[in-house]
Structure 1
């Protein structure tokens, strides 16, 4: 499989950049939006200050999701500091440019207000156009304040908050936790969350199961081999080691539900093992931690570590391939893993999202350059941030 991906990568560079997975029709990826530096829709004076103070150097786009009308929302977790104007935004057109308008409002993005959104990385939009917003709480890595780490459900159609859950000490560690990504099962009312646990050594990784109907949560697989970094795993992007001084170490990260919602998949960013658990076990809070650990399955050793993942209704699993600048797909029936697309400019493919027409969207953000302080904001050889559209055919859209 490594050989297949390497051959595909070489062909992609020569032919303009696309390889196709077996079993599906696929067209070349399209760039939907791109930026050398992110631009916010704030009004003249705030926008001028944002540029003059070079706040844009602290802003990185991580996630993107689409609602049923095709509107695109993006997350910009405040890893660089409280000066970042918003951590959750809706993309709006201003002439030929896309700008980030704070969503749901500027007030709901106020840094330092624990009731507002502090640092959103992972979020999801379900089939009812309800946005599940996962707030890390941490700003620039500082310990989170009480109530800042939370899950907020927001009705996009009525533009109002439906529900929130503030993570308690049994759910997260206010120093160590790094709430990364979320996947939602609207049928059962459960959501599943990865915690990468990056702010402590050893890592404090784990999974969190949230029950919407009872508004309660449970932390599982805490600091287990299944949710922390794999010892000795080092990866490179564009032939560049990720973090120049010390290898990047990140626990539980990418997460996805199977098409029938019976299986939860996840990976650790620093590692290439794909794990799974039956969701029936996770939904039953009386199942012991020991039983859960013994039920974890090693599904596959992947050709690359992965950041974002999702599944279609048929159970095919799509995963970003960090070391190969692209997206790979695991066939539900055979378990075979192939490259879906490899593009030399799809550097650090981060998040995956489905559009209402069945297209798959990918965020690439050169994260390895940003964390190393090596990102060029004025004239990079390739735009720093991009949202790509992969117009997949014969692979139906998953409405969670």
Structure 2
């Protein structure tokens, strides 16, 4: 987050991985007896890469580059293949920022996706630092490249949205964000949701890389390959005053409170409502997408139309809707997931477990389950992650029973 500019790289580590570990929901007065089934499908102490080059893989280990790599996002395609993002917050030597998980030598490894060449640092055609991405109902991956490497200003053309057809294995469209869309010094392009019905995407910009937060939303029109920025540096896209939060009874960032603007984002199943939150806050906001799709809507009109939907029991980093419009939101302060009922608006805890530390991105799988990354981001940004003990799983991918369908479905 805002502290990424000052991240130190003095960690050390080892690898541990399991598959299919099953967890019962933690005992808590906030969790209903019918809490959903949860299991860990992959876990690591450090992230291993399948680079197709034994020498490069050896250098990755011997140079301890794994200290700089953090697991952030997971998405699942129609065949059940998992893809993960590892934004280059730790520096340019992170081997790949977007990868496909492949099972090799009895463990899950990260294979650069779509290719090693498409992950080359310094090549404006390639992916520089991917955090948020989405796979739509057509198996098209919408890849959001934040551009920034280790918090440095983005190079020309680095901040972009790339559409990659997984079935054809080729790029089908891209859009490079101009200076009116995003600030190449301050912006932090965070997450993206997709409306296949109308050909639009909605993006959160957390705006963390300047002394003041530069948060906002970006609306992308696929048909005309254009975008525009809205709610720039407003109360709706910045942090809440004096917000502090704790994970596992420890303050996040020991020296300076974390400040982050627009972050989690979700699109309702009927595509009529956009929801989002600021990481440094508890408020769930919404806005009518018809207004957002109309590029002639004035800022004053949009600001007046924003609704404060609810005050959440925890701040959230990732969120997603099902086809019925129910919301699933990560709950950082509760170590789990929250749920908002589309019919009643009631918000409750959904799946809680003490080992789901910093749940980040959510993804629908073909069988109607949710996949969730938990990555101890709070420890990573404070240089407190333990890479020495193979028994310590720093990064996990959870599978949580949900019995839903993706918001992108027809």
Q: TM-score, normalised by structure 2?
A: 0.92
1:396 to partner: Cα distance = 3.4
Unmatched runs of 5 consecutive residues or more in structure 1: 1-10
Which residue matches 2:18? none
Which residue matches 1:5? none
2:172 equivalent to 1:165 = no
1:11-40 C-alpha deviation (Å, 9 max, x unpaired) = 95458x99348xxx6532110111000000
Count of residues in correspondence between the two structures: 385
Which residue matches 2:365? 355
Which residue matches 2:36? 27
Which residue matches 2:383? 373
Which residue matches 2:98? 88
Which residue matches 1:396? 405
1:95 to partner: Cα distance = 2.5
What does 1:98-247 align with in structure 2 at a 5 Å threshold? 98-247=108-257
Q: Find the aligned partners of 1:380 and 1:302 in 2 and give their Cα distance.
A: 36
Whether the aligned pair in 2 keeps the contact of 1:345 and 1:382 (CA below 8 Å) is no
1:313 to partner: Cα distance = 1.2
- In structure 2, the CA distance between the partners of 1:97 and 1:325, relative to structure 1 (3 Å rule), is same
Partner of 2:214, secondary structure, is coil
2:270 equivalent to 1:268 = no
Whether the aligned pair in 1 keeps the contact of 2:220 and 2:226 (CA below 8 Å) is yes
Which residue matches 1:56? 66
Q: Find the aligned partners of 1:266 and 1:61 in 2 and give their Cα distance.
A: 22
2:375 equivalent to 1:385 = no
Q: Find the aligned partners of 2:67 and 2:30 in 1 and give their Cα distance.
A: 31
Q: Find the aligned partners of 1:134 and 1:316 in 2 and give their Cα distance.
A: 24
Q: Find the aligned partners of 1:313 and 1:132 in 2 and give their Cα distance.
A: 19
Whether the aligned pair in 2 keeps the contact of 1:136 and 1:150 (CA below 8 Å) is yes
Whether the aligned pair in 2 keeps the contact of 1:18 and 1:29 (CA below 8 Å) is no
Which residue matches 1:8? none
Q: Find the aligned partners of 2:27 and 2:262 in 1 and give their Cα distance.
A: 35
Which residue matches 2:330? 320
- In structure 2, the CA distance between the partners of 1:366 and 1:144, relative to structure 1 (3 Å rule), is same
Which residue matches 2:46? 37
Which residue matches 1:293? 303
Q: What's the Cα RMSD here?
A: 1.6
- In structure 2, the CA distance between the partners of 1:160 and 1:12, relative to structure 1 (3 Å rule), is closer
Whether the aligned pair in 2 keeps the contact of 1:307 and 1:322 (CA below 8 Å) is yes
Whether the aligned pair in 1 keeps the contact of 2:386 and 2:392 (CA below 8 Å) is no
Unmatched runs of 5 consecutive residues or more in structure 2: 1-23
Partner of 1:340, secondary structure, is strand
- In structure 2, the CA distance between the partners of 1:199 and 1:180, relative to structure 1 (3 Å rule), is same
Task: Select the residue among 297, 301, 305 that pairs with 2:315.
Answer: 305
Partner of 2:237, secondary structure, is coil
4+ residue stretches of structure 1 with deviation over 6 A?
A: none
Partner of 2:67, secondary structure, is helix
Q: Find the aligned partners of 2:128 and 2:407 in 1 and give their Cα distance.
A: 29
- In structure 2, the CA distance between the partners of 1:20 and 1:94, relative to structure 1 (3 Å rule), is farther
Partner of 1:323, secondary structure, is coil
Whether the aligned pair in 2 keeps the contact of 1:26 and 1:392 (CA below 8 Å) is no
1:273-304 C-alpha deviation (Å, 9 max, x unpaired) = 00000000000001101100000000000000
Which residue matches 2:290? 280
Q: Find the aligned partners of 1:18 and 1:147 in 2 and give their Cα distance.
A: 46
